[in-house]
Structure 1
Amino acid sequence: MPGQDFEELAVALAEMARDLLAQETLQSTLDRISEHAVELVDGCEAAGILTVRRRASGRGGYRHTVRTLACTDDLVEASDQLQEEVGEGPCFDATRDRREVLRIADMSDQAERWPLFTPRARELGIGSMIGFMLFTSEQNLGSLNMYSRSPGALTERSEQVGWLLASHAAVAFASARSGEDLHASIASRTDIGQATGIVMERHKVAEDQAFAMLSKASQDNNIKLRELARHVIDTGEISALRV
């Protein structure tokens, strides 16, 4: 939104907040956050959301894995995959150092900082980028990354607007994830309840005994209880369960 003044920006962010809260799924919320970044931040040509997780590897070491949650352009996913491949880059630094904002005005100047990532990032067409940590007082949710193919296109103004957008986005992200987790929890309890009822009817046992049978079968077969319950509901198969 080139040349936007404070009032225009406030209106745009308010409309964005309403739009994000109107989304019905977590994925649609993340997709819209990325799309709003392109629409509202000067110089932003592509945007995406990722998570970086530190996982143990062999011999006591560890490696970082990157997961792209949403993106508006293939450039975003290519950058995410490149950082995971070479094990360095702005998202890794932001995650490790817990930096709220990391702006790279000109990717060509970063060869000393990221010797493996920088030349290949330029080959991908990345001229400048900004990364924003998405967090609330209780959760670190990942990062929102904005890209331009032109060096110098993402300015201090872009950073200021992007930070405001990221703050709104983090709240919407957390709300959508909590809602999805709650929905999944309710669905799981419902499935387990239905499966318990099927076992009660087939084996002519009380509710607590039917639930114990499901739990034991889950442990014996190394299957999550909710997955076993869904299987019982879908197929009616309870032959593996014993009184």
Structure 2
Amino acid sequence: MNALTGHESRLFEPLLALLPVDGLSISTFGHILAAETISASDAQSFRLDELQFDLGEGPCWDALETAKPVLEPDIRERPNHVWPAFSEAIIAENFGALFAFPLMLGPLRIGAIDLYTNQPYRLGEQDIQHVEILATVVSRMVLNRALRLSESDLVGEADTATRRAFSRREIHQATGMVLAQLGIPAADAFLVIQGHAFAAGRSMLDISSEIIDRRLSFAVNEQQIEGSHD
């Protein structure tokens, strides 16, 4: 049961082939992208996303808020006061262990990967490392997809010829500054600017100008780009 057909709906396959889990889903939610299941290996995975979206709590929300994996090797032993509504809802579901990994690109919090096993299970350190590495790749692909589907003008070019002449250069300069701030590849730095522009409903040129003028920084401990989930 996948939310999409085509290439994006098969994003779960490399992870499922690599990991000792029974199912997984890839979803977007939070402050940048709408709540949506991009890819799910089975109906149970889709249901896991659905419950968390509807209730506004659960492992995926905590993973995105803390920017760290949430590992629950025996979900039925989880105290109900942590996720009261979610804990109640999954009693009737066939979940033994749940794991959630954040989807992030630089400071942009995009969504999460949710994995489950039918019986209690503890992921090994190597499995955790594999998911974290693949999560970076998936984050890039998911954000690219969202921007590709968006009808917003994110290229940062204004109507005048003069502004068009300078826009590409300013965006390139801002990309270099974000690259230095975050220590990420140039393509990812460009995506961070593009994603922030998308979230703010503004052009890339406007965002780039703020970066160049040092009114906006993505560096850690400077301006916070994403708020946490309430």
TM-score, length-normalised on structure 1? 0.52
Distance in 1 separating the partners of 2:107 and 2:76: 36
Distance in 1 separating the partners of 2:89 and 2:99: 17
User: Where does residue 78 of structure 2 map in the other structure?
Assistant: 110
User: Where does residue 63 of structure 2 map in the other structure?
Assistant: 94
- Write out aligned runs for 1:1-243 (5 A): 28-41=6-19, 43-53=20-30, 66-95=35-64, 97-112=65-80, 113-137=82-106, 139-181=108-150
Percent identity over the alignment? 22
Q: Is the 8 A contact 1:66 1:81 kept in 2?
A: no
**Structure 1 position 27, deviation (Å):** 6.0
**Structure 1 position 143, deviation (Å):** 1.0
Which one has the largest radius of gyration?
1
Q: Deviations over 1:42-100 (max 9, x none)?
A: x222111223347xxxxxxxxxx8432221111112112222333321122223x2323
Q: Is the 8 A contact 1:130 1:159 kept in 2?
A: no
**Structure 1 position 183, deviation (Å):** 11
**Structure 1 position 151, deviation (Å):** 0.6
Distance in 2 separating the partners of 1:91 and 1:33: 18
Flag structure 1 segments of 5+ consecutive residues without an equivalent. 1-25, 55-64, 187-243
After superposition, the Cα gap between the structure-2 partners of 1:172 and 1:74, relative to the gap in structure 1 and judged at 3 Å, is: same
Distance in 2 separating the partners of 1:51 and 1:173: 8
Q: Is the 8 A contact 2:27 2:36 kept in 1?
A: yes
Flag structure 2 segments of 5+ consecutive residues without an equivalent. 156-230
Aligned residues: 149
Q: Is the 8 A contact 1:134 1:170 kept in 2?
A: yes
After superposition, the Cα gap between the structure-2 partners of 1:30 and 1:111, relative to the gap in structure 1 and judged at 3 Å, is: farther
Distance in 2 separating the partners of 1:149 and 1:67: 24
Distance in 2 separating the partners of 1:110 and 1:73: 24
- SS of 1:135's partner is strand
Q: Is the 8 A contact 2:30 2:109 kept in 1?
A: no
TM-score, length-normalised on structure 2? 0.55
